[in-house]
Amino acid sequence: MKAISIKNLSFQYSGQKDLCLDNLSLEVLEGERFGLFGPNGAGKTTLMSLMTGLLTADHGSIELLGHNVSHNKKCINKLFGFVPQDFSFYQDLSPLENLEFFGAWAGLKSEEIKKRSIELLDVLGLTEVGDKQVRRFSGGMKRRVNLAIAVIHEPKILFLDEPTVGVDVQTRHAIVNYLLELNKKGTTLVYTSHQLSEAESLCEKVALIDEGKIIAQDTLNGLLSIHHQDRLEGLFLNLTGKAYRDS
């Protein structure tokens, strides 16, 4: 079954001349680990925001597990979890307090929240600081809190927008391993990052996006083979060029 189905999607920010996403179509199957890559400004975060309902498309449709994103937001929002690039929690609360609040908003009962919180803090190495204010945490610990909140309701699809930016090797390793564990249990992962070596170990299928269009999409090995590359970084530069993309 298709976890995500995007058809002819177009989106333009108000006040901007060019389309941010131009007639884009994409499919992700259930249980896949899907990587979405592209240079800065390619449209990755916009596409993520459209898939999670934070933005509304101008044209085209997005379906998550057969439900149209723009029609039944309340139902759709139960299906996925989202790890935004920014820290998305209350810094004045502890990890446990954040999980308690966001768990309730995700529709869990009090008992379920308690059980899941203990599990998540344990698996992400946060048990000892579970009742400390997040404000004083290191970047790596905050990234793990960010991830824990996104998966407290055991979503079927998990969107990850640069989930390991700014963390040390140990934290990155722990996060990637946890994501692989989740995927083994059936969670579909949709991942975007500039950490291409990390992407190689996490993603089985990738799409390269540039200037609002998908320029390549296949399994990682398939794309590397077609373009005669042995690393994702080489493939990336080959398809998107070496020029700066600051604008």
Taking alpha carbons only, the member of 153, 208, 205, 203 closest to residue 179 is 203
Residue 112 is a binding residue for another protein (CB under 8 A): no
Q: What is the DSSP string of 207-237?
A: EEEETTEEEEEEEHHHHHHHTT-SSHHHHHH
Q: How many residues bind another protein (CB under 8 A)?
A: 34
User: Which residues on adjacent β-strands are paired with residue 10?
Assistant: 59
Judged by CB under 8 A, which of 106, 167, 189, 202 binds another protein? 106
Considering only CA atoms, which of 151, 219, 140 is closest in space to residue 185? 151
Q: Give the C-alpha separation, 179 to 183, whole Å.
A: 6
Using the contact rule CB under 8 A, the part of the chain among 22-30, 51-59, 210-218, 233-241 near another protein is 51-59
Tell me the backbone φ, ψ of residue 193, rounded to 5 degrees: -165, 160
Q: Does 111 bind another protein (CB under 8 A)?
A: no
Structure tokens at 7: 């058809």
Least Å from the CB of residue 81 to another protein: 8
31 binds another protein per the rule CB under 8 A: no
Nearer to another protein, 74 or 228 (CB): 74
* Position among 8, 25, 40, 56 found at the interface with another protein (CB under 8 A): 56
CA torsion angle 144 149 155 158 (round to 10): -50
Q: Applying CB under 8 A, which of residues 4, 149, 158, 220 lies at the interface with another protein?
A: 149
3 state SS of 74: helix
Tokens read off for 97: 């307090």
Judged by CB under 8 A, the residue of 31, 41, 53, 60 near another protein is: 53
Measured CA to CA, the distance from residue 30 to residue 189 in angstroms comes to 9
Among 10, 12, 88, 229, binds another protein (CB under 8 A): 88
- Figure out which of the listed residues 11, 34, 37, 89 binds another protein, where binding follows CB under 8 A: 89
Which residues of this protein are in contact with another protein, per CB under 8 A? 52-54, 56, 73-75, 77-78, 80, 82, 84, 86-93, 97, 100-107, 109-110, 133, 149-150
